[in-house]
Amino acid sequence: MSRFTQIVMVSFSVMIATTASRQVMAESSTLPDHPNFPNGYARLVSLTCGPGNTRAEQGALAIEQTHGGQRKIESASALVSGVACDSDRVEFTVTGLDASSDYVLGFTWFDVDAQDRKQSVLFGMGEPVSWTQVLQAVQPAVFHADQSVPARVLLPVSGEYAKQGSLKIAFVKDAGPDAVVSEMCLLKKTDTTLKKRVAIVTGDDYPGHRWQETGPELAAILREDPRLEVSIVECPAVFASPLIDHYDAAFVHFKNYSARLPLGEDVWSGIRRYVDSGHGLVFVHFACGAFEDWKGYVQIAGRVWDPQKRGHDPYGPFQVRITDPQHAVTCGMQAFETADELYTCLVGDTTIHTICEATSKVDQLVYPMAFTVPELKGRVLHCPLGHDQSALTHAGTRELYRRAAAWATGLDETGSATSAQQK
């Protein structure tokens, strides 16, 4: 991989006009200029942190670093060129917010010198400032192909956080030598026709699962539905954040490894609370293997990976059959061909409702390819399809995931609310 490709993959940055102390960027398009950004938003202000860069502005809107220093990163220059840093906390102030608008804060952070950092994010309002933790203490990195890379995180800024016209943001050191952040940006919602919000939550997986490719492909699939606002959030710990409620549904698109990305009881209870409050969840491919330390995971995912079983048929072609043509997700769909991994490793006693199935060419047994978990309060669908970007290009798989997203948010194919009875 070239150094240029690495920069594109790990950074939100695009070409931005720069002065010695200021970085300014105006973006008029409502199409995302990075696949992680939600469609229907315009990026207005971006700040690349480092020596001399402490403020960015566009009209009345501005981001300014108000506490901490800056330093250039030599050892990791291919990934992060500089950071804002402090031995305790780095603070920024956003001004010029419109109380009637929705915003999204984007930032990039990275444990640049591998010193086991953990840091949290606080939002502050009022005078004196009242601080609220909006992201728990977590390692500021994610893992792609078994390599630690910068995490690109999105947090919604709307409602009470926008109403006062300004917002303070703190990146707090919880472990390690200092708190660091390398990039900040602010997006404003411009398309008010989008009805439902979906977050694709990712950030770790088996090295053969290249989520930096499949995540954007999934987002492109969901954005084919003009009713959906879709974001990619590279931070599995976001499920412990109160801000996760901003999204009507979330895709679990990761398999975490506890040795490098532990997700504890606060994340587990966050997922349970999210579903119990009526939100939707869609589990993608090897999400069945996430949360190996959480015994209750099977109650929400319906089925989980058993490493003692044969994992899947060899990657190749097979047919997916519709088993419930009356369900909102599969109504009107026909059997379809795909080329993918046919998973044979799912186990569990939780009640599920299978809507798609396929027959293994290895053992001739039938396995579920999509199922719901009907006894939960939220709308949950689990689909083991989608090993790689190529697998997600097949028309049937695309339609299945697009319909799953609409259903999980409470929409059906006609745009009306899906019956609460149909789980």
Alpha-carbon distance of 242 to 238, in angstroms, equals 8
Size of the chain, expressed as the number of residues it contains:
423
Please state, rounded to an integer, the average pLDDT across all residues of the chain: 90
Torsion of CA 222, 225, 227, 233, to 10 degrees: 10
Region(s) of the chain under CATH 3.40.50.880: 196-408
pLDDT tens-digit profile of 254-306? 999 999 999 999 999 999 999 999 999 999 999 999 999 999 999 999 999 99
Q: What pLDDT is stored for residue 33 in this prediction? A: 80
Q: What pLDDT is stored for residue 298 in this prediction? A: 98
Is pLDDT of 421 > 90?
A: no
Residue 84 in tokens: 């804002």
| Nearest alpha carbon to residue 123 among 150, 98, 89 | 89
String of DSSP letters for 100-158? TS-EEEEEEE--TT----EEEEEEEETTTTEEEEEEEEE-S-EEETTEEE-EEEEEEE-
Banded pLDDT at 422 (limits 50, 70, 90)? low
Is pLDDT of 171 > 60?
A: yes
pLDDT tens-digit profile of 77-86? 557 889 999 9
pLDDT tens-digit profile of 178-229? 999 999 999 999 999 999 999 999 999 999 999 999 999 999 999 999 999 9
How distant is the alpha carbon of residue 78 from its chain centre? 24
**Total H helices, total E strands in the chain:** 5, 28
**Is CATH 2.40.160 the classification given to domain 3-189?**
no
Distances (CA, A) of 126 to 129, 166, 167: 5, 9, 8
Alpha-carbon distance of 279 to 252, in angstroms, equals 13
pLDDT tens-digit profile of 343-366? 999 999 999 999 999 999 999 999
Burial of 188 (C-beta count, 10 Å sphere; 0-12/13-18/19+): buried
CATH architecture of 196-408: 3-Layer(aba) Sandwich (3.40)
What are the beta bridge partners of residue 232?
200
Alpha-carbon distance of 240 to 199, in angstroms, equals 14
Region(s) of the chain under CATH 2.60.120: 3-189
DSSP strand pairing (41-48 vs 183-189): antiparallel
